[in-house]
Structure 1
Amino acid sequence: MGSTVIGNNEELVASLVSKVLTELSNRCDQPSDAGDGLFNTVSEAVEAALEAQKKLLQMSLERRKEIIASIRKAVLANNERLAALAVSETKLGRVEDKIRENILCATKTPGVEDIQPTAISGDCGLTLIEHAPVGVIAALTPITNPTGTLINNSIGMIAAGNAVVFNPHPNAKEISAQTALVIHKAIVDAGGPPGLIGLVRVPTLDTAKELIEHPKINLLVVTGGKPVVSVALRSGKKAIGAGAGNPPVLVDETANIRRAAQCILDGASVNNNIFCICEKEVIAVEEIYETLIKFMVETGKVYLLTPEEAERVTKLVVTPEGKINGSYIGRDVQIILRDAGIHVGEEYRLAIFRAAKDHPLVWKEQMMPVLPVVCVKDFNEGVEFAVKVEQGNRHTAVMHSTHVEHMTRFAKEIQTTIFVKNAPCYAGIGLGGEGHTSFTIAGPTGEGLTSARSFTRERRCTLAESFRII
C-alpha cells in the first residue's frame, strides 16, 4: 500500500500546532468539570466517569450505536489536524502514516456488534450469555500511538457499556487532550453523557499510580512497555496488558523475493517503526539473502549502509550501556543518518545493513527505521534463530514464503499473538488485512487483539425446563 501524499507546508502545520497549544494552555487555567472531558484531578475524572456510565446503561443500544458512529465521524473530520499535532509534539512517526493510523482506528474498531449475546438450549431449558460492562476503566496510553490508542480504546470500551479515564504518556499530553476533546464532544453531540471519557490534564507517574489504585476503578488497560504492564499486573485488579515485542521477519528461499522486499520496506518504515508490530529484524536464508537486499534497495526508498556506516549508526542509536537511545526512536531516517554523518535524500524511508547474529539491534526493540538483515544457512536455522530473538514476547512475527509446511512450522514454533504471512506487519491489525484492528494487543495477559468484548464480564441467565421450542 502506497503512502498518502501530504503537502509539506511546514508554516501551516507550525501555525496550527501553535494555535492548538495556546488553546490547551488556556484551558488548564479553567476550573475542572465534566463539560469537556478534561479534569484537574484523578478523583474528579473517576467520579464523573462513574456517573456517566450509570447514565449510559439507562440508554438504549441504538443510542450507544449512535454515540460510536458520532465518534468515528468526528475523528475522521479532525484526522489531519490530530496527525500533525501528534508528530509535532512527540517527534515520533510520520504525519501521512498517523493519518492512516487514525482512519484505521476510526473505521475498523468493532462497536456494539462485538458484544452480541449467545444462547444455549437443550432438554433442560434455555441459557442466555451476555457480555456486561465492567464499569469504569483506567487506561494508560503510550507516547508512540497516542491518537490511535485513545480512539481505539474509547470506541471499544464505550461500545461495551463502560466509561474510561485515560492517563496518557506525559510527553503526549497535548495531543491526547486534543483527541479526548474531539471524542468527548462527539459523545455529547450524539446525546451521550458528559464525562463518559475523561483525561487527566497534567498526566504524571503519580496520577497513573493514583488511577491504578483508585477503589472505584474496575479494570486496568495498559498499553506500553514491560515496566508499566508489570505494575498493573501487581495491582490486585483485573488488568489487560499490552507489552513490548521484537518481531522477526523470516524469508525463505521459496518466497516471492521482490514482493517480500516491498512488504518489509512498507512494514518496517510505517510511522518510522514505532508500532510494536513492526518488523524489527530480517532473517533471510543464505540462498536469497543478497537478492533480498538488492530488491529492497531497488525500491528506491531503502538506503543500504556500508559496514563502516552501520558501525557509526549503531554507536549513535545504542548507548554504551547497551540501551536504545531514546532520542532517535520514531525519527525520520534522514535525521538518524545525518547525525551519524550520512546525508540522504527525502525519498528514503528506511536504512538497512548486513548484521551479525549478535548485533544489538537484532536483539533490541529499536523502534526506528534502521533495520538489521541477518543471514542464516537455511530455513531450520532461521526458525531457531527467529524464536530466540523474539525472546518469548509472543507479540508478532512475519514470514515470507510459498511453502505451506514452512509457514505452519514457524507459526507453531514462534507462538506469537499475531503471525503475518506474505504481507507487511500491519496487515495483522487490519490495515490491508482482514479482521478488526486493535492498538492494545494484549499478549502478556492473553486477550490478544482487544475489542469491545475484551472490556466486559460474562453474565449468564438460565431458564430451566422451559423455552426450548424444538
Structure 2
Amino acid sequence: MEFGTKEISMIVEQVLKNLEENNLISTKKTSNSGLYSDKGDYGVFERVEDAIDAAYEAQKIYLDNFKIKDRQRLIAAIRKVSIENAETLARMIVEESKMGRVEDKVKKHLAVIENTPGPECLTTDAITGDGGLMIEEYAPFGLIGAITPVTNPTETIINNTISMISGGNGIVFNVHPSAKKVCAYCLQFINKTIIENGGPANLITMVKEPTMETCNIITQSPKVRLMVGTGGMGMVNSLLRSGKKTIGAGAGNPPVIVDETADIKKAAKDIYYGASFDNNLLCLAEKEVFVLEEVANDFIYNMVDEGAFLLNGAQLEAITNLVLKYENGKYDINKKWVGQDAGKMLEAIGITGKSDTRLLICDVPYDNPFVLLEQLMPVLPIVRCKNLNQAIDYAMIAESGNRHTASMFSKNVDNMTRFARKIETTIFVKNGCTLEGVGIGGEGYTTMTIAGPTGEGITCAKSFTRRRRCMLADGGLRII
C-alpha cells in the first residue's frame, strides 16, 4: 500500500498527538530547554518553584519510561562529557571562587567522574524458603533537594548526579552563590547530554540565583522527598530541623597521629601531599598532626625536605593575624584566606620569593587556634606529644566529635586499632594520605558527600534510595 503526502502528514500528526497524551514530549517546539519542557535554560531556572516543578515532572517520566540499562547509558554519557570538561570546570572554579589549585581540582573531578558507582551497586537481596520468595530492592525517593558547597562545587554536582539518577531520582540543586556560574555551566552540559541520549530534560535543575530563601523553598516543598546537604554543620543542622529525611555531610577537622614506629619519611611525604592538595579545601584533608616527641624533629625535617615552609614564632604570629580573626574572646577564620595559596600568604607578611610554596607548617601546642579550627587553608599545625595516650587525647579534642576523618602513621597494629576505636570517624586511613580514603590513590569508590552526622557514610546510589520488599507467599516460584 502506498501513502501520499497528505496521508503521511496525518500519520505523523497522530503519532505526535499520541506521544503528547502520554507525556513523552511537549506540543511546543524543542527549544534550548530541551525535550519535555518549554521552560528553563537546560535546567537553570529564574524561579526556584519552576526548577522544582520541572525536575519533579522529569523524574516521573524517568521512572515510568527508563529502565536500568537506560540509566547506565545516560550515566556513561555523563561521565564522557564530564571528562571532556574537567579542566574547564577546574579553571572556572578557581576564577569564580578564587580558591584552590586548578591541577588539583582536575584530579578531584576525574576521581568523582570515574569512581562514583552507578546502578551496579543497587543489588537485589532475595530469600527463599518454605514460606515463599522474598526480594528487597532499592527504589527511588523521587525528587531530591541537594545543597552543594563552594569548596567542591561541580565535583559535588557530578558526584551527586551520578549517584542520585542511578537510583532513579531527579534533583533540584541549591548551589553555593560563590560558584553559581560554574555550577550552571556544569548542570547545563549534563542536561544537554541527557537529552541528546534520549533522556528527559530537567532531570537535574537549579535556580540561577541561589539564596537561603531558595534553599528554604526547596526544603519546604512537598514535591521534594529527600534533602541532601554537603557543607558546613550550620546548613546540615538546618536541614535536619526541616522534618524531612535528610542526609547530611558536615564539617571535619581531621587529625593525624605519627607514632615512634612510623616510617617518618613516608609519613611526611603523604601528609604534605594531602594537606596541600587543593590548598586544603577538602573536609577530609589532614588538618593537624600529633607526633610523638621522640620523632618530632625528624618528622618536621622531612616535612621541610618535602617542600613545606616552617614558620618561626614571629612569622606564625603574622600569619595568625592575617588569616584568622579574634572576636569576642575567640578565634575564627578570615574567609578571605580560605583556599588561598601558601605562597600568597607568605607574600602578604613580607616574605618574597616563595610563590611556589604549597604548605606552611608550625610547631605549636595542642590548644593553638590552627589546631582547633577547621581552617581549610594550607597551614598545618604540628603538636609534640609525650606518648600515644596524650596524642589520642589531643586528637579527640581537635576532632570535636565530628566523626569525619582521621589517620595514623604507625607500624604498630595495636596503636592504630586503639586510635581508630577511640576516634570513631567515618573514614580512618592507616599509613597513607586521607585522600586515599575516598578512592583518590586508594581503593574504593569516590564521593564528595561524606555523611557522618546522619550515618550514611561514603554515599553512593544506594544511599539515595528506599528499600522496598516484595513477598510472594505459599512457596510460589520455588522449584524445590
Q: TM-score, normalised by structure 1?
A: 0.92
* In structure 1, C-alpha distance between the alignment counterparts of 2:349 and 2:212, rounded to whole Å: 33
SS in 2 for 1:218: strand
- Alignment match of 1:91 (pick from 91, 98, 105): 98
Q: Which has the higher mean CA deviation after the structures are superposed, 105-114 or 334-343? A: 334-343
Q: Deviations over 1:137-191 (max 9, x none)?
A: 0001011100110000000000000000001011110111111112111111211
Identity of aligned residues (%): 48
Corresponding residue for residue 329 of structure 1: 338
SS in 1 for 2:218: helix
1:332-371 to 2 correspondence within 5 Å? 332-371=341-380
Q: Which amino acid aligns with 2:185?
A: Q
Q: Which amino acid aligns with 2:463?
A: S
1:48-447 to 2 correspondence within 5 Å? 48-57=54-63, 58-299=65-306, 301-321=307-327, 322-447=331-456
SS in 2 for 1:78: helix
* In structure 2, C-alpha distance between the alignment counterparts of 1:55 and 1:177, rounded to whole Å: 23
Q: Which amino acid aligns with 2:177?
A: P
Distance apart, 1:61 and its partner CA: 1.1
SS in 1 for 2:333: coil
Q: Which amino acid aligns with 2:479?
A: I
Corresponding residue for residue 7 of structure 2: none
Q: Which amino acid aligns with 1:165?
A: V
SS in 1 for 2:193: helix
Q: Deviations over 1:103-161 (max 9, x none)?
A: 00100001010112111112211100000000000001011100110000000000000
Greater C-alpha radius of gyration: 2
* In structure 1, C-alpha distance between the alignment counterparts of 2:58 and 2:221, rounded to whole Å: 17
Unaligned runs of 5+ in 1: 1-26
SS in 2 for 1:110: coil
Q: Deviations over 1:403-457 (max 9, x none)?
A: 1111111100000000011111100010011111110100000000111001001
SS in 2 for 1:433: coil
Coordinate RMSD, CA, aligned: 1.4
SS in 2 for 1:55: helix
Unaligned runs of 5+ in 2: 1-31
Q: Deviations over 1:256-286 (max 9, x none)?
A: 0000000000100111001000111010000
Distance apart, 1:346 and its partner CA: 3.4
Corresponding residue for residue 13 of structure 1: none
Q: Which amino acid aligns with 1:469?
A: I
Q: Which amino acid aligns with 1:76?
A: I
* In structure 1, C-alpha distance between the alignment counterparts of 2:120 and 2:393, rounded to whole Å: 41
* In structure 1, C-alpha distance between the alignment counterparts of 2:479 and 2:229, rounded to whole Å: 45
Q: Deviations over 1:377-413 (max 9, x none)?
A: 0112111111121110000001111111111111000
| Contact 1:250-1:283 at 8 Å conserved across structures | yes
Q: Deviations over 1:288-320 (max 9, x none)?
A: 001000001111x21111111111101111102
SS in 1 for 2:257: strand
Q: Which amino acid aligns with 2:348?
A: D
* In structure 2, C-alpha distance between the alignment counterparts of 1:247 and 1:361, rounded to whole Å: 12
| Contact 1:34-1:194 at 8 Å conserved across structures | no
Q: Which amino acid aligns with 2:120?
A: E
| Contact 1:173-1:201 at 8 Å conserved across structures | yes
* In structure 2, C-alpha distance between the alignment counterparts of 1:406 and 1:122, rounded to whole Å: 46
| Contact 1:105-1:151 at 8 Å conserved across structures | yes
* In structure 1, C-alpha distance between the alignment counterparts of 2:334 and 2:41, rounded to whole Å: 40
* In structure 2, C-alpha distance between the alignment counterparts of 1:237 and 1:329, rounded to whole Å: 32
| Contact 1:35-1:194 at 8 Å conserved across structures | no
Corresponding residue for residue 45 of structure 1: 51
* In structure 2, C-alpha distance between the alignment counterparts of 1:68 and 1:297, rounded to whole Å: 43
Corresponding residue for residue 33 of structure 1: 39
Is the alpha carbon distance of 1:344 and 1:212 closer, same or farther for their aligned partners in structure 2, counting shifts above 3 Å? farther
| Contact 1:35-1:195 at 8 Å conserved across structures | no
SS in 1 for 2:297: helix
| Contact 2:141-2:466 at 8 Å conserved across structures | yes
> Which 4+ runs in 1 deviate beyond 6 A?
none
Corresponding residue for residue 9 of structure 1: none
Corresponding residue for residue 26 of structure 2: none
SS in 1 for 2:53: helix
Q: Deviations over 1:188-215 (max 9, x none)?
A: 1211100100011111111111111111
SS in 1 for 2:110: helix
* In structure 1, C-alpha distance between the alignment counterparts of 2:112 and 2:46, rounded to whole Å: 28
| Contact 2:252-2:374 at 8 Å conserved across structures | yes
How many residues in Structure 1 have an aligned counterpart in Structure 2? 441
Is the alpha carbon distance of 1:344 and 1:365 closer, same or farther for their aligned partners in structure 2, counting shifts above 3 Å? farther
Q: Deviations over 1:13-33 (max 9, x none)?
A: xxxxxxxxxxxxxx9xxx981
